[in-house]
Amino acid sequence: MLARSILEEKSSNRKSSIGSYWITTFGCQMNKADSERMAGTLEKMGYSRALDEFKADLVLYNTCTIRDSAQQKVYSFLGKQVKRKHEFPKLKLVVAGCLAQQEGESLLRRVPEIDLIMGPQHVNNLENLLGRVDSGNQVVATEETFISEDITNARRDSSICGWVNIIYGCNERCSYCVVPSVRGKEQSRYPDAIKNEIINLARDNFKEVTLLGQNIDAYGRDLPGTKKDGSNAYTLTDLLYFIHDVEGIRRIRFATSHPRYFSKRLIQACYELDKVCEHFHIPFQSGNDEILRLMARGYTVDKYKKIIENIRLLMPNASITADAIVAFPGETEKQYQDTLKLINEIGFDQVMTAAYSPRPNTPAAKWDNQIPEEVKKVRLKEINELIDKISRQRNQRYLNNIESILIEGFNPKNTSQIMGRTRTNRLTFLEIPKNNKFNYSLGDELNVKITEARSFSLSGQIINE
């Protein structure tokens, strides 16, 4: 039964605990995946998961620095733990992730209470680093390093959907973006290692995998064997064909796609391969060619539109989501309007937006044509209103459809409901029928009639026995 399988304790190791740990994860899916691997390491070392952040013996913040607001949020969290450390000196304070990498030693000068500062490339080395802390050192691990193959058993938050890193780092140079400087050079994992991880997930009853990379279309280009025409010998498309036969896995997703490299072959593969879901997250960032050039994105608005057109030719109901930035340095009102126009034309299922935020060591931060805060606010509010309207309209296409929903758990805000997602990644809530004659559990795919469509989520009724 569902309730029991959800409440069932995961196979935690039973050796006596050497203390409790707490991890707060900021930022993107990449960081979430890293946190799960670090949690796995901590549990292997004998730490047990704390129920309260302020009672834990080890607190790890896996940080993000994509915008200034993300950075400030980390500092405010850290402040509270620093206070606690003064009363409870045994507390181990670990700052991992992108802000840790960006600040390095200088974070230690700012917050001398921290025991360990570690960049994203050192995630798989947590045990060693903590060993050095236990010997009485304050440790900063931010040097560029080759990421060792992942041998840790991640402590995953979901028991149904698993993240699988396929490429670390990013070699792009988008002029606004801090990621290449904090995540380092691209490093693809070998296809066999990826497939083995997926086979293990399937053995543990996982039903869905999401392949992760900051620029997932770059997968393979650092692997040995470049073709005569300069293209990489092994691509994301090849990988999709290679992993598709893993028995037990029913859904395959991937993120994040880059319009510069998104290929027709990839679209064809997504169409041909049953398990690959019809959802594409392809950030466009701006709807104006001049701004795209200044952002150093390497594509035009027309090229972007062509990609979406090609996807819709084969998969008319595919869901298309994206990221966009407003108020990039120098963005005129007309250029900003071009972004709104593109959103209207494409009809996105969802767009994640942000006002441009200057980041350390990025070219655009040094330009003297920054847009005033008031303008940023106005544009962000307006674009979000438009997206809300469009995504709500677009979600109406689900109404009265029968969708296959993969059950992931209870709705945390209303436990009389269970939740899952459509293949197109729409979150869907279902009432648990009163006379519960359905014998279903986590990881089942149920046929659901969609009865309500909002901008972020759907509601529906289970219709199969």
Residues forming contacts to ligand SF4 in the complex (CB under 6 A) are 170, 172, 174, 177, 179-180, 214-215, 258
The values of phi and psi at residue 183, to 5°, are -105, -5
Residue type for position 357: S
Taking the alpha carbons at both ends of the chain, their separation in whole angstroms is: 14
Length reported for the chain: 465
Closest contact distance (angstroms) between CB of 58 and ligand F3S is: 21
Q: Counting contacts by CB under 6 A, is residue 156 touching ligand F3S?
A: no
CA atoms within 13 A on the CB side of 56: 23
Contacts of 448 (CB under 8 A, 6+ apart): 402, 403, 404, 405, 428, 430, 460, 461, 462, 463
**Contact pattern from residue 6 through residue 35 relative to ligand F3S, giving x for each residue in contact according to CB under 6 A and a dash for the rest:** ---------------------xx-xx----
Q: Are 220 and 241 in contact (CB under 8 A)?
A: no
Q: Which residues pair with 281 in a beta bridge?
A: 321
Among 35, 65, 285, 353, interactor with ligand F3S by CB under 6 A: 65
Q: Counting contacts by CB under 6 A, is residue 327 touching ligand SAH?
A: no
C-beta closer to ligand F3S: residue 122 or 423: 122
Q: Which residues pair with 61 in a beta bridge?
A: 24, 95
Q: Counting contacts by CB under 6 A, is residue 179 touching ligand F3S?
A: yes
Among ligand F3S, ligand SAH, ligand SF4, none, what does residue 359 contact (CB within 5–8 Å per kind)? Answer: ligand SAH
Closest contact distance (angstroms) between CB of 284 and ligand SF4 is: 11
Judged by CB under 6 A, the stretch of 75-83, 176-184, 185-193, 309-317 that binds ligand SAH is: 176-184
Strand, helix or coil for residue 205? coil
Among 66, 246, 320, 462, interactor with ligand F3S by CB under 6 A: 66
Judged by CB under 6 A, the stretch of 107-115, 179-187, 215-223, 246-254 that binds ligand F3S is: 179-187
Among 85, 251, 258, 421, interactor with ligand SAH by CB under 6 A: 258
Among 176, 262, 410, 440, interactor with ligand SAH by CB under 6 A: 176
Burial class (CB in 10 A: 0-12, 13-18, 19+), 52: exposed
Contacts of 414 (CB under 8 A, 6+ apart): 429
Alpha helices (runs of H) in 169-210, residue ranges in sequence order: 179-183, 191-203
Euclidean distance between CA atoms 78 and 95, whole angstroms: 9
Q: Which parts of this chain interact with ligand F3S (CB under 6 A)? A: 27-28, 30-31, 64-66, 97-98, 178-179, 182-183
**Site residues for ligand SAH per CB under 6 A:** 66-67, 176-177, 179, 214-215, 256, 258, 283, 285, 323, 325, 354, 356-357, 359
